[in-house]
Structure 1
Amino acid sequence: MLQLTVLTVPDCPNEAVLRERLAQALTGHPDASITHHVIDNGADAVRLGMHGSPTLLVNGVDVFAAPNTPASLSCRLYRDESGPTGGAPSVAALREALRHAADNPIPAPLAQAAGRAGLGRVAPVEGGLRAVHQRVLRAFAHTGRPPTQSDLDEAAAPYGTTGARVMAQLHAADFLRLDSSGAISAAYPFSPAPTPHRVRISSGPQVYSMCAIDALGIAAMLGKDVTIRSAEPGTGRPITVTVPADGGAVAWEPASAVVLYGQQQAGCGTCPPELDADTADVAVPSVAADVCCGYINFFTSSDAADAWAKSHPAVAGQVLAQREALEIGVHIFGPLLQPLP
């Protein structure tokens, strides 16, 4: 099912054009759903992923935005196949985008839970968010540990801010999590504390991942081979997954292994008591560390995953085949360390 979201500023002159072309392009997709959000401030543009008005999200992704395109309230122009620009994608371009999304489905509820409520995990460049976020990720990838405060301040300084302020904003938007003392408790895909998922990075350290999907996305994010060693919940039976950096064949042991993608509605256990004015307006509605990270695990077989799910009725789960689980991990985490513009 296609989930489409139209983002516009108030009274956008090109909204009607996009809607008209989208109606034509949706022929053959009777189950598609469309929602519309009117955005009137920069914080919401960042939070929802609007790269100019109008923006179309297909299953939570702006498929027409170039890499590193910043969030914006400005009037957006699209280039047609023949070269001219216009205020909305052409019908042909929309049809191709919808066809690709339909042929390569990443279940929206899954991407939403682990992928920052469907908004993606690539932090905005503005305000030093991406620079500081990438500094955190690289510290874990290179040393297996969080960065120092001086490292964070160094990354934030060119943007006229401090590491602590940017980290608070990243926490509020669930790009990472901080505990009550301000220390990192989650840096998706990395965990500073031991988890069932140990990841050995080629020519690098051993790290822990927040969940099975996070572990599967690390090779694509770093461009390095990784070996994942995990344990099946309940039985402790070992699972090993070797993921090559070049996108080659992934080795699963046992060959019948799968991923159970579970999530449980929960309060924000990782939220601080208060959010200040700089962070409250970028908070996301669900926090992966609370909702799903503990319930996305490797199992030795579909039967084992089904049995665990039946014994835990409070957890809504879906068994993912190996290829599907890998694609979700690559989709969410692969772009995180793209070079800054």
Structure 2
Amino acid sequence: MTDLTTDLSARLARFDEEALLVPLLRLLVDGDPVIIDDLAAATRLPVDEVRTRLAASPETEYDDQGRIIGQGLTLRPTRHRFTVAGEELYTWCAFDTLIFPALLDRPARIESTSPASGDTIRVSIDPTVGITSVEPATAVMSLVNAGDKPSIRSSFCNQVHYFTSPQDAAGWLTEHPGAQILPVSDAFELGSTVVTGMLEHPQPGTRVERSGNCCGPDTGC
């Protein structure tokens, strides 16, 4: 678990240390594409610098107008539905669903489907109290060590799923010998460790005005 925690923290920090991830998530959670100028305002960085830093993360998703629509949290449908304040969003992987409520400081409801059985797993998370429900109670999550591969989405995210039970995951594990499974509660504890490490790094201000609304932990929204 220690090696896995270190690996996850390091790989998430690779984007987060650029001072973009948390502010970007807090803009995307409104359910609209993010204009790069708005992200620059949220991070208090020059627009050209934001563009340069985004270019270092080629997996970032954009729409046809060049607006950001995904970086871990995405407007494009995936297996992992992530609902916050009535906005139906998605994540790149199951692990994202466990760490984003704390990074966003908002409760979330998750619905995901097992890649083995196709059955639905439902999880509710409150950033203050943690997991409030898991259905079914036997649900587990797969995790892998992405190593030094450059693409976190293909090497990690695409292998991290919810399953209804260890039995449901058994066949998938046989096909992915480097993976492991954890009860959802244990995966959440691992995620909490990762989040703590990320939030210990000072973030720039995240205030930004959009259509008369404010975003960011220092605004009282």
* Cα pair distance change 1:259/1:317, threshold 3 Å: same
Name the SS for the 2:16 alignment partner. coil
- Of 150, 153, 157 in structure 2, the residue corresponding to residue 293 of structure 1 is 157
Structure 1: distance between partners of 2:13 and 2:69: 21
* Alignment of 1:239 onto 2:121: yes
Instruction: Tell me if the contact between 1:260 and 1:317 (Cα under 8 Å) persists in the aligned partners.
Output: yes
Structure 2: distance between partners of 1:327 and 1:175: 29
* Cα pair distance change 1:115/1:249, threshold 3 Å: closer
* Cα pair distance change 1:152/1:117, threshold 3 Å: closer
Name the residue aligned to 1:152: 39
Name the residue aligned to 1:274: none
Listed as ranges, the gaps of 5+ residues in structure 2 are 206-221
Deviation of 1:291 after TM superposition, in Å, equals 0.7
* Alignment of 1:317 onto 2:179: yes
Calculate the TM-score normalised by the size of structure 1.
Answer: 0.51
Name the residue aligned to 2:219: none
- Of 71, 88, 102 in structure 2, the residue corresponding to residue 206 of structure 1 is 88
Name the residue aligned to 1:28: none
Listed as ranges, the gaps of 5+ residues in structure 1 are 1-105, 124-128, 266-283
Name the residue aligned to 2:137: 255
- Of 106, 113, 122 in structure 1, the residue corresponding to residue 16 of structure 2 is 122
- Of 38, 43, 50 in structure 2, the residue corresponding to residue 166 of structure 1 is 50
Name the SS for the 2:144 alignment partner. strand
* Alignment of 1:108 onto 2:3: yes
Structure 2: distance between partners of 1:178 and 1:165: 18
Name the residue aligned to 2:210: none
Q: Which amino acid aligns with 1:168?
A: T
Name the residue aligned to 1:306: 170
Structure 2: distance between partners of 1:175 and 1:224: 27
Instruction: Tell me if the contact between 2:142 and 2:161 (Cα under 8 Å) persists in the aligned partners.
Output: yes
When Rg is computed on C-alpha atoms for both structures, the one with the higher figure is 1
Query: What are the within-5 Å matches in structure 2 for residues 80-99 of structure 1?
Result: none
Instruction: Tell me if the contact between 2:141 and 2:160 (Cα under 8 Å) persists in the aligned partners.
Output: yes
Instruction: Tell me if the contact between 2:109 and 2:125 (Cα under 8 Å) persists in the aligned partners.
Output: yes
* Cα pair distance change 1:295/1:259, threshold 3 Å: same
* Cα pair distance change 1:121/1:286, threshold 3 Å: same
Structure 2: distance between partners of 1:171 and 1:251: 38
Q: Which amino acid aligns with 2:180?
A: Q
Structure 2: distance between partners of 1:187 and 1:261: 19
Deviation of 1:215 after TM superposition, in Å, equals 0.4
Name the SS for the 1:250 alignment partner. strand
Instruction: Tell me if the contact between 1:199 and 1:209 (Cα under 8 Å) persists in the aligned partners.
Output: yes
Name the residue aligned to 2:78: 195
Instruction: Tell me if the contact between 1:225 and 1:245 (Cα under 8 Å) persists in the aligned partners.
Output: yes
* Cα pair distance change 1:238/1:178, threshold 3 Å: closer
Measured on the aligned residues, the alpha-carbon RMSD in Å equals: 3.2
Instruction: Tell me if the contact between 2:140 and 2:182 (Cα under 8 Å) persists in the aligned partners.
Output: yes
Which digits, 9 at most, give the CA deviation of each residue in 1:14-45, with x for residues without a partner? xxxxxxxxxxxxxxxxxxxxxxxxxxxxxxxx
Name the SS for the 1:260 alignment partner. strand
- Of 323, 331, 335 in structure 1, the residue corresponding to residue 193 of structure 2 is 331
Structure 1: distance between partners of 2:98 and 2:40: 30
Instruction: Tell me if the contact between 2:124 and 2:134 (Cα under 8 Å) persists in the aligned partners.
Output: yes
Name the residue aligned to 1:271: none
Deviation of 1:183 after TM superposition, in Å, equals 5.8
Structure 1: distance between partners of 2:190 and 2:15: 12
Which digits, 9 at most, give the CA deviation of each residue in 1:38-80, with x for residues without a partner? xxxxxxxxxxxxxxxxxxxxxxxxxxxxxxxxxxxxxxxxxxx
